[in-house]
Amino acid sequence: MTIVFEKENRLFTLCTRNSMYQMKADDKGILLHTYYGKKTEVFDYSYLIQRRDHGFSGNPEEAGNDRTYSTDTLPQEYSSFGSGDYRESALDIRYDNGTRTLGLRYEGYEIIKGKYSIPGLPAMYADENEAETLVITLRDDVQDVRVKLYYGVIEELDIITRTVCVENHGKAQVQLERVMSLCLDQPYGDWDWMTFYGKHEMERQLSRTPIHHGVQSVGSLRGASSHQYNPFVMLADKNATETSGECYGFSLLYSGNFLAAAEKDQFDQTRLIMGIHPENFEFLLKEGETFWAPEVMMVYSADGFEKMSNCYHKAVREHVCRGRFKLERRPVLINNWEGTYFDFTGDKLLEMAKEAASCGVELFVMDDGWFGKRDDDNSGLGDWQVNEKKLGCTLSELADRIHDLGMKFGIWYEPECISEDSDLYRAHPDWAFTVPGRRPTRGRNQLVLDFSREDVRNHIFDEMTKVLDKADVDYLKWDFNRSISDIYCAALPAERQGEVPHRYVLGLYEFLDRLGKRYPDMLIEGCSGGGGRFDAGMLHYNSQIWCSDDTDAIERLKIQYGTSFAYPVSAVGSHVSACPNHQTGRIVPFESRATVAMAGTFGYELDPAKLSEEEKQQIQEQIAEFKKYYDVIHFGNYYRLTNAMEEGPYAAWEFVKEDGSEALVSVVASRVRTNDPGVRIKLRGLKENQIYLVNGEEYPGGALMHGGLLLEEAKKEYQSWNYHIVMK
């Protein structure tokens, strides 16, 4: 059994293949967290909870004269504001009389076969025989608010998920001020805080700092999960590496404002909270109403980061992503954006498609500029009518001509945004986020449509389907190119304006769900100025996301390195772009750009008509190589052989089939110096006693993993190699 309940001492133990999570409802009704770590025999770990009389740490009424019992020091499973716990709280509720004190006590539990789902929100899914769900109910007797803690246990994946449902059973309405999805108290340990920061065109850069006294946090108030911080964080033992040491991963399946915070308290205990950012968040619950928080996926590894990452990769690929393309090979594509920007005609696109088709490219994507009055980024958004004058034909005719070349056809959309210079804005200015009486803040000279409103979503959906129903479109790129500000919903009263940011995300998910159901054979790729909304929540609706608008292969080494800690290669949109690179001006060998792009969905972002015959031949070879290695790249275990954040001579990574029968090692010379010493890298994931062929040469698996592979000497800057390894 994955969930064990001991009735006598009200002890709950959740077991995966390699980890164990435990909590206990004590005799006073407080749900205490007792253990999360390596799987052991089921045992009551509450013996590790230390109780002392600490000054200025108050005692609940149930404790009587026992001053050693304090919610301010106990490891709690789900903390609440105003209860005598002065650490970061998980739940904060304001009542109609203005008070905010909440006293949650254990009421009961339920164990359900299978994995729970969340209304209107993304969540992991699993068959009934793959998962179990534990539901623990806590209750505040004074206000009759009930908090249900949901735990999903997927044993074979080493994943435990968490979410929270708040129910108002009282007569009076309550205002939710903060509802965290996760509260985890670690009474012992000296941890590092690992997060992934960045900016537009340089996302998910790994940061590792010691957890110190006080609160450390990352989050987003931009309306999207953001380029700046990713909703995935880690706690790691100070000595943890890729292959050893304890670490914990926490991935929030949410694409809006979020907060992840770690607090080291006065007694060196660490509390982690994660969920919707409480800033500019309120949600009103009337009698009988409920609120669901987003899901968090938790992974514990006793053997370093790579074990944790591979758990996430398999879980996201097979139990978060949905639809036809979650496991099906995606077509190699070419996008016209960096090849033409807004300056194109239908004939120019067809010329690019012909050249690409002759090289073996399988999908042609028409990017921004095909609709309304749209020759730059200052007008036209919201007017989703095909500009047939610019294309010189209908969209259906263009799609048919692309298909006649043996290629699939794709199209770009930015449904959430609107230009003030558009027919839609002139007809419905109240549909855009603007604060009455104030001039709006613009981003990319555009505003954001209020997707919290059903009428707005329905109009955009109808306009999109009018286009998509008439043309044979195989792929859709969904973009979102600004942060949200000036949030005000004209359809909601003043007391509900704090609900708008979350309602916006719910509206976005509802729209994407409808779109996916209407076009189940269409591949939808997410994008937000590249990686501004790269999170597990979006991957529930888009099986791949454009990783970054930075297409420089050398910059991508760091971006894709950070991304790999929580997200599988199959989710990473990555393309070969033109040189000099449009973002950095850097010149990188054509073959090295392909080596880096193959650690993703793979495609091209250039004008093939401008390439030499030699480069066109290289494209054919690159596509053939990618298809040859597709299964090991997209479904194999992933290993970070070097740290891309360190300035070393090489960047290297490895893909290995789960049975160890095949591997691919990719290497890029990130720094070339004269007369450098030799470099060897130790491979991982192979079978110790098996013989492997490495580009035709025989080596024992143990030798490759413990002795290593001696790399070739780089003869030019940014040279790259792929070492194909197969079991003999």
Token duo for residue 166: 């708040």
Token duo for residue 148: 């249900």
Helix (H, G, I), strand (E, B) or coil at 23: strand
d(CA 41, CA 46): 14
- Exposed e or buried b per residue across 175-203, where buried means at least 16 C-beta atoms within 10 angstroms of its C-beta: bbbbbbbbbbbbbebebbbbbbbbebbbb
In terms of DSSP bridges, do strands 475-478 and 408-413 run parallel, antiparallel, or are they unpaired?
A: parallel
The residue ranges of DSSP E strands in 466-589, in sequence order, are 475-478, 523-526, 544-546, 572-573, 576-577
Residue 548 · residue 531 · CB < 8 Å: yes
Residue 226: left if φ>0, alpha if ψ -120 to 50, beta else—which one? Answer: left
How crowded is residue 495: how many other Cβ atoms within 10 Å of its Cβ? 11
Token duo for residue 6: 């001991």
In terms of DSSP bridges, do strands 214-220 and 174-186 run parallel, antiparallel, or are they unpaired?
A: unpaired
Closest CA to 564 of 211, 310, 262, 330: 310
d(CA 561, CA 670): 14
Closest CA to 85 of 50, 54, 58: 58
How crowded is residue 620: how many other Cβ atoms within 10 Å of its Cβ? 13
- 592: pLDDT strictly greater than 80: yes
DSSP state of 678: P
- 648: pLDDT strictly greater than 90: no
List pLDDT tens digits, range 231-270: 999 999 999 999 999 999 999 999 999 999 999 999 999 9
- 496: pLDDT strictly greater than 80: yes
pLDDT of residue 670: 87
Closest CA to 227 of 570, 563, 573, 551: 563
The residue ranges of DSSP E strands in 294-332, in sequence order, are 296-301
Percent of the chain scoring above 70 in pLDDT: 100
Helix (H, G, I), strand (E, B) or coil at 400: helix
d(CA 497, CA 257): 15
List pLDDT tens digits, range 431-474: 999 999 999 999 999 999 999 999 999 999 999 999 999 999 99
End-to-end CA distance of the chain: 39
Q: Which residue is associated with the tokens 């470099």?
A: 679
Q: Which residues have a catalytic role annotated?
A: 535, 615
Percent of the chain as helix, strand, coil, to the nearest 5: 25, 30, 45
Closest CA to 460 of 399, 413, 409: 413
pLDDT of residue 141: 87
Token duo for residue 225: 């999960």
d(CA 116, CA 131): 9
d(CA 456, CA 518): 18
pLDDT of residue 675: 75
Token duo for residue 653: 């990574």
The DSSP secondary structure of 54-118, one letter per residue, reads -TT----GGGTT-TT--TTTS-BSS-BTTSS--S--SEEEEETTS------EEEEEEEEES---B
Q: Residues 563-583: what's their mean pLDDT?
A: 97
Q: Residues 19-27: what's their mean pLDDT?
A: 98
Per DSSP, helices labelled H in 442-494 are 454-468
User: Which residues face 25 on adjacent strands?
Assistant: 31
Average pLDDT over the chain, rounded to an integer: 97
How crowded is residue 71: how many other Cβ atoms within 10 Å of its Cβ? 22
Q: Residues 491-505: what's their mean pLDDT?
A: 97
Q: Which residues contact 259 (CB under 8 A, 6 or more apart)?
A: 180, 217, 218, 219, 273, 274, 275, 276, 277, 278, 279
Read off the pTM: 0.97
Closest CA to 474 of 334, 363, 387: 363
pLDDT bucket at 503, cuts 50 / 70 / 90: very high
Closest CA to 243 of 545, 566, 685, 589: 685
CA angle 598/640/648 to nearest 5° reads: 95
d(CA 663, CA 203): 28
- 43: pLDDT strictly greater than 80: yes
List pLDDT tens digits, range 63-79: 999 999 999 999 999 99
CA torsion sign for 122, 128, 129, 135 is: positive
The dihedral over CA atoms of 214, 220, 225, 226, expressed in degrees to the nearest 10, equals -110
DSSP state of 662: E
The residue ranges of DSSP E strands in 157-292, in sequence order, are 159-168, 174-186, 191-199, 202-210, 214-220, 232-237, 247-252, 258-264, 270-276, 283-285, 290-292
pLDDT of residue 407: 98
d(CA 293, CA 111): 20
User: Which residues face 159 on adjacent strands?
Assistant: 154, 299
- 1: pLDDT strictly greater than 80: no
d(CA 654, CA 673): 24
In terms of DSSP bridges, do strands 544-546 and 523-526 run parallel, antiparallel, or are they unpaired?
A: parallel
- 679: pLDDT strictly greater than 90: no
pLDDT bucket at 677, cuts 50 / 70 / 90: confident
pLDDT of residue 121: 98
Token duo for residue 626: 């990618």
Token duo for residue 374: 């749209």
d(CA 184, CA 139): 19
pLDDT bucket at 672, cuts 50 / 70 / 90: confident
pLDDT of residue 453: 98
Residue 379 · residue 369 · CB < 8 Å: no
